[in-house]
């Protein structure tokens, strides 16, 4: 039976799959292409047509040199992963684990290609949303590793989560006539419009010049994401003598230390001897100290954690660093950037580790969401929603705005600023507002709302409240063009809602009458629940990393500059809150440009 082609892809042309590679100012870019062809034999020339919405086109236009890497059949899975990556993802080769090589041509190419064709552009032909490049072949080099192996054909790549199964089912359906029968049935239930290849192709993958200008205005690569969560939990290799300074929140520090390192030599330090001794007995500490000076003078102590009022962070950290002790300081790093810079400078001067205890950086759900965004599951991320609420009435030092550094924005907002930076990237501006104050016994704000914006095209909304409850909703939502992620605090899973309906919902859409269909169109049928492989909490992850860094004499995966940048963004929010207007957020300055000490290398760290 004959069926009209509705897109250019319906032709199922058996083109050879290739990957274009080229060098740019920010590194190597790669791009899937199955539309390259030879146009002359003497001299040998080849033609390619990269899409102008991708960075590779600009790199070829500027550099004039590129390589075509013919993909062997054995690299099919990697090619499918490349196709699924988000268009503006940076460091694509590293994301896919591909090895990039260079030789005398100075053109980057894939180590695992069947054949590599090194090219230099002779002519450029404008052709709408794609550019045609006629290039001279400098060399065509076959990879001896793949002698006898066939190239991967375009028809072998099925648009499915399970390509091999998809191909088998399709083949059986064609041979048995089941495919024609299914198309007839679907056509009766939901008739298709008349075939129009030009219109359909444009709507699915084309763009006019005004559209291209708008798309390119947000950047061909999203360079705003500078933070990366750790790939795997740190492994503790030996005992570390660690002293928890502070007997309030410090009791929680003791609990987490026992969870991640039962053999840690635990010490307690406080100001009140009776309270300190009581906590030391409760947590089975090896000893306790009254006063930080006594704690850092003891040779059994290699590192300290600071669970103190925010305004004491700088003084305590500098006392510990001056005594050669490594420091894990609770967030925020300090209440002012001047204090934060002083702490970083002291760590550099003494060769000690300074790390900010930011559990969001080690939260398993953040890591899973980060990976799914990077590999293109939600397409281009558009919206970040954070909602942190719960009735709380801070008292004592936490009610003093000078000691706390603010209110809920300083205490809780700094967590979600880190989450925002990990999942979306660096914001460029913020608007802040707040509702009426309920807790008038504190000087700081008990609620705040922020809207962040980015030149990369995304926006973020953050709602923080100590005067209302969150209820049963996720604390973080990340929405993109292809799907939405829901992150739940304390849960061992996250939820993914793909834009493309799940198989159950697609089948349910054919049910008639509509009142019966509605009974099957339930929210849970459109959800994919993803279990998290790492079951540790973010708190456990941060302590495990700090202890491992101390034991191994290396820098932690989250350097203190990360905590300083979080504080800087929070202070921008306070500025927007006080001015009732949008405030620009400066991009992260280089360490030398802003006078900050650079990250401490392993060779700089004093081994205890």
The CATH number covering residue 64 comes to 2.30.110.10
Please indicate, yes or no, whether residues 152 and 172 belong to a single structural domain of this protein. no
pLDDT of residue 375: 92
For residue range 454-484, what is the model confidence (pLDDT) as tens digits?
A: 999 999 999 999 999 999 999 999 999 999 9
- Residues of the chain short of pLDDT 70, as ranges, are 1-14, 158-164, 590-608
pLDDT of residue 509: 84
Q: Which of 182, 134, 115, 123 is nearest to 37 (CA)?
A: 134
Q: How far apart are CA 275 and CA 243, in angstroms?
A: 16
CB atoms within 10 A of CB 211: 13
Asked whether residue 477 is assigned to any structural domain, the reply reads no
Determine the 3-state secondary structure of 274 from DSSP. helix
Residues 6+ apart with CB under 8 A from 214: none
pLDDT of residue 607: 46
Residues 6+ apart with CB under 8 A from 273: 290
Asked whether residue 109 is assigned to any structural domain, the reply reads yes
Q: How far apart are CA 316 and CA 336, in angstroms?
A: 15
Q: Point out which residues pair with 68 in neighbouring strands.
A: 20, 117
Q: How far apart are CA 57 and CA 471, in angstroms?
A: 48
Residue with tokens 């798309």: 215
Please indicate, yes or no, whether residues 72 and 194 belong to a single structural domain of this protein. no
Give the chain's domain count: 2
Asked whether residue 125 is assigned to any structural domain, the reply reads yes
Burial (CB count <10 Å: 0-12, 13-18, 19+), residue 86 = buried
pLDDT of residue 606: 52
Q: How far apart are CA 228 and CA 370, in angstroms?
A: 8
pLDDT of residue 448: 98
For residue range 501-521, what is the model confidence (pLDDT) as tens digits?
A: 888 888 888 888 888 888 888
pLDDT of residue 603: 41
Residues 6+ apart with CB under 8 A from 334: 310, 313, 314, 340, 343, 405, 567
- Asked if 353 and 457 touch (Cβ cutoff 8 Å), the reply is no
Please indicate, yes or no, whether residues 55 and 97 belong to a single structural domain of this protein. yes
Residue with tokens 């995304």: 458
- Asked if 34 and 11 touch (Cβ cutoff 8 Å), the reply is no
Q: How many helices (H) and strands (E) does the chain have?
A: 20, 24
Please indicate, yes or no, whether residues 176 and 97 belong to a single structural domain of this protein. no
Asked whether residue 91 is assigned to any structural domain, the reply reads yes
* Residue 184 domain boundaries: 168-217
Q: Which of 217, 236, 258 is the last residue of a domain?
A: 217
pLDDT of residue 13: 59
Please indicate, yes or no, whether residues 105 and 133 belong to a single structural domain of this protein. yes
**Pairing relationship of beta strands 241-245 and 265-270 according to DSSP bridges:** parallel
Q: How far apart are CA 268 and CA 280, in angstroms?
A: 6
- The rounded Cα 307 to chain-centroid distance in angstroms is 29
DSSP H helical segments within 177-232, as ranges?
178-189, 197-205, 209-217
Please indicate, yes or no, whether residues 176 and 139 belong to a single structural domain of this protein. no
Please indicate, yes or no, whether residues 88 and 27 belong to a single structural domain of this protein. yes
Please indicate, yes or no, whether residues 68 and 102 belong to a single structural domain of this protein. yes
| 119, 124, 125, 128: CA torsion to nearest 10 | 90
Q: Point out which residues pair with 40 in neighbouring strands.
A: 45
Q: What is the pTM of this model?
A: 0.89
Tokens describing residue 427: 């914001």
């Amino acid at each position: 039976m004959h069926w009209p082609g509705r897109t250019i892809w319906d032709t199922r042309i058996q083109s050879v799959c290739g990957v274009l590679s080229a060098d740019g100012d920010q590194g190597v870019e790669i791009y899937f292409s199955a539309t390259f062809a030879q146009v002359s034999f003497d001299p040998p020339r080849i033609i390619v047509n990269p899409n102008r919405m991708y960075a590779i086109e600009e790199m070829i236009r500027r550099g004039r040199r590129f390589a075509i890497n013919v993909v062997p059949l054995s690299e099919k899975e990697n090619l499918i992963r490349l196709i699924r990556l988000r268009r503006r993802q940076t460091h694509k080769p590293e994301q896919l684990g591909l090895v990039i090589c260079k030789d005398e041509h100075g053109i980057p190419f894939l180590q695992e290609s069947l054949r590599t064709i090194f090219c230099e552009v002779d002519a450029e032909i404008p052709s709408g949303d794609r550019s045609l490049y006629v290039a001279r072949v400098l060399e065509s080099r076959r990879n001896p590793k793949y002698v006898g192996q066939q190239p991967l054909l375009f028809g072998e790549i099925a648009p499915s989560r399970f390509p091999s199964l998809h191909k088998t089912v399709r083949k059986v359906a064609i041979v048995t006539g089941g495919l024609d029968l299914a198309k007839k049935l679907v056509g009766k239930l939901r008739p298709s419009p008349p075939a129009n290849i030009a219109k359909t192709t444009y709507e699915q993958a084309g763009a006019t010049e005004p559209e291209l200008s708008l798309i390119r205005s947000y950047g061909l690569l999203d360079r705003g994401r500078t933070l990366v969560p750790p790939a795997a939990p740190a492994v503790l290799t030996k005992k570390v003598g660690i002293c928890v300074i502070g007997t309030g929140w410090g009791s929680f520090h003791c609990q987490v230390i026992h969870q991640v390192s039962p053999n840690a030599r635990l010490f307690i330090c406080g100001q009140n001897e009776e309270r300190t001794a009581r906590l030391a007995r409760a947590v089975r500490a090896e000893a306790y100290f009254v006063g930080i000076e006594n704690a850092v003078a003891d040779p059994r102590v290699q590192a300290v954690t600071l669970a103190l009022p925010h305004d004491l962070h700088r003084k305590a950290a500098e006392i510990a660093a001056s005594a050669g002790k490594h420091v894990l300081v609770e967030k925020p790093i300090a209440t002012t950037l001047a204090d934060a810079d002083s702490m970083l400078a002291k760590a550099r001067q003494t060769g000690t580790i300074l790390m900010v205890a930011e559990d969001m950086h080690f939260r398993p759900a953040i890591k899973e969401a980060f990976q799914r965004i990077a590999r293109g599951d939600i397409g281009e991320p558009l919206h970040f929603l954070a909602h942190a609420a719960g009735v709380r009435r801070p008292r004592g030092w936490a009610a003093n705005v000078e000691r706390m550094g603010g209110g809920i924005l300083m205490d809780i907002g700094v967590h979600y600023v880190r989450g925002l930076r990990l999942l979306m990237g660096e914001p460029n501006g913020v608007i802040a507002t707040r509702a009426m104050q309920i807790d008038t016994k504190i000087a700081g704000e008990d609620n705040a709302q922020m809207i962040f914006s980015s030149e990369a095209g995304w926006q973020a909304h953050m709602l923080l409240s100590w005067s209302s409850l969150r209820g049963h909703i996720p604390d973080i939502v990340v929405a993109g063009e292809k799907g939405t992620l829901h992150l739940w605090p304390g849960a061992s899973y996250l939820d993914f809602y793909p834009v493309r309906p799940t198989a159950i919902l697609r089948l349910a859409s054919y049910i008639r009458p509509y009142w019966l269909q509605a009974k099957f169109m339930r929210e849970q049928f459109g959800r994919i629940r993803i279990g998290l492989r790492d079951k540790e909490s973010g708190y456990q992850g941060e302590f495990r990393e700090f202890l491992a860094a101390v034991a191994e004499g290396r820098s932690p995966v989250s350097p203190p500059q990360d905590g300083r940048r979080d504080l800087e963004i929070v202070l921008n929010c306070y500025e927007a809150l006080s001015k009732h207007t949008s405030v620009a957020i400066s991009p992260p300055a280089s360490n030398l440009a802003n006078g900050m000490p650079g990250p401490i290398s392993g060779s700089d760290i004093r081994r205890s």
